[in-house]
């Protein structure tokens, strides 16, 4: 592999558009480590191609992504495709946080490489399941809410940690059990089993978001709990609605006062 430092490799992987090629590159990175991190490198952002994407799926506004009944094979495939797109975005998000932000401890970059690797495994599980149903990733439109927030926060690591892993990705902790139950009720135990794996791993991913958010707030003498509402307002984060998977959120490191804030926000009227 032609680069000397992990952060250079992460940017290269981020720019790869073919999902299979991207996945294989990340697996090699994960398996061939430990790498020199290059935490002090000043890496220039490419003028285009961030992140690398396949030609399909078509990216559309969220309201144009249709929801179908899970009682039909196509409806379940549509749901699994949406989840695969989330996982593909999550791969890119982990790569982006590695290359974009300099001067963090080596453990920061190693943690997010592990996240990228596990997101690859999730994506492959979902895409393989789609193939058994006669579909592949790219067959349905998708929206880009996760990456939109990454773009908004790209100049502020504190905001990125607060609003991507701890907010948007943490929604998966709440949604996974609900979606899993619906798939099981529809008789799709194979797909439901994939959701079990994803939830298990996503607790750890959100926990890393919490870990590094609180770490960097401590370094900057910021109150992590009091800062969060200001960041959510400044960067137009969606207000999360319950019910919340409180056991999973506690396992992921959310503090009691943070969970109280979530519950109060969910009760507010539009």
Task: Give the model confidence (pLDDT) of 252-267 as tens digits.
Answer: 999 999 999 999 988 8
How far apart are the C-alpha atoms of 115 and 27, rounded to whole Å? 11
For residue 269, pLDDT beyond 80: no
Highest mean pLDDT among 91-100, 233-242, 257-266 belongs to 91-100
Is 173 in contact with 196 (CB distance < 8 Å)?
no
Mean pLDDT of 53-71: 88
Closest of 27, 55, 23 to residue 123, by C-alpha: 23
* 231-253 mean pLDDT: 95
Residue 270 confidence (pLDDT): 53
| 239: preceding bond cis by omega (within 30 degrees) | no
Q: What is the pLDDT of residue 172?
A: 95
Tell me the mean pLDDT in the region 188-195. Answer: 97
CA 244 from chain centre, in angstroms, equals 18
Give the integer Cα–Cα distance in Å for 91 and 85: 10
- pLDDT-based confidence at 134, cuts 50/70/90? very high
Q: Give the residue-averaged pLDDT of 220-232.
A: 97
Output the pTM of the full model: 0.96
pLDDT tens for each residue of 2-23: 899 999 999 999 999 999 999 9
- pLDDT value, residue 145: 86
Q: Is the pLDDT score of 98 beyond 80? A: yes
Give the pLDDT band (50/70/90) at residue 148: very high
Mean local confidence (pLDDT), 61-85:
90
Residue that the structure tokens 């994803």 belong to? 198
pLDDT of residue 33: 78
Give the separation between CA 164 and CA 101, rounded to whole angstroms.
15
pLDDT at 108 over 70: yes
Mean of the per-residue pLDDT values of the chain: 95
Number of neighbours of residue 42 by Cβ within 10 angstroms? 7
Q: Is the pLDDT of residue 249 over 60?
A: yes
CA distance 99 to 182: 38
The domain over range 6-267 is classified in CATH as 3.10.350: no
Helical residues (DSSP H) of 47-105, grouped into ranges = 73-100
Q: Quote the Cα angle for 258-213-26, to 5°.
A: 125
User: φ and ψ at 59, to 5 degrees?
Assistant: -95, 120
* pLDDT score recorded for residue 30: 96
Q: What SS3 class is residue 3?
A: coil
Give the domain ranges of the chain: 6-267
pLDDT value of residue 1 = 75
Q: Which two tokens stand for residue 11?
A: 């940017």
């Amino acid at each position: 592999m032609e680069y000397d430092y992990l952060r250079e490799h992460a940017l290269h992987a981020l720019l790869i558009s073919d999902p299979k090629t991207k996945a294989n590159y990340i697996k090699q990175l994960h398996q061939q480590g430990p790498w020199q991190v290059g935490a002090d490198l000043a890496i220039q952002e490419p003028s285009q191609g961030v992140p690398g994407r396949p030609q399909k799926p078509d990216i559309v506004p969220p309201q144009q992504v249709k929801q179908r009944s899970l009682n039909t094979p196509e409806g379940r495939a549509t749901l699994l495709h949406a989840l695969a797109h989330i996982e593909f975005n999550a791969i890119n998000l982990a790569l982006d946080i590695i290359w974009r932000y300099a001067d963090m401890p080596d453990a920061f970059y190693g943690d997010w490489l592990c996240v990228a690797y596990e997101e690859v495994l999730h994506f492959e599980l979902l895409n393989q399941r789609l193939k058994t149903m006669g579909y592949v990733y790219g067959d349905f439109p998708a929206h880009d809410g996760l990456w939109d927030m990454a773009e908004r926060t790209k100049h502020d690591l504190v905001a990125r940690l607060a609003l991507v892993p701890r907010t948007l990705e943490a929604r998966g902790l709440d949604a996974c059990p609900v979606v899993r139950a619906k798939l099981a009720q529809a008789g799709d135990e194979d797909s439901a089993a994939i959701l079990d794996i994803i939830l298990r791993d996503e607790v750890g991913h959100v926990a890393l978001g919490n870990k590094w958010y609180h770490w960097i707030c401590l370094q900057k003498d910021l109150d992590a709990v009091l800062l969060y509402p200001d960041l959510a307002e400044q960067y137009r984060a969606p207000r999360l609605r319950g019910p919340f998977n409180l056991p999973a959120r506690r396992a992921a490191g959310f503090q009691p006062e943070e969970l109280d804030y979530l519950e109060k926000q969910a009760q507010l009227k539009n």
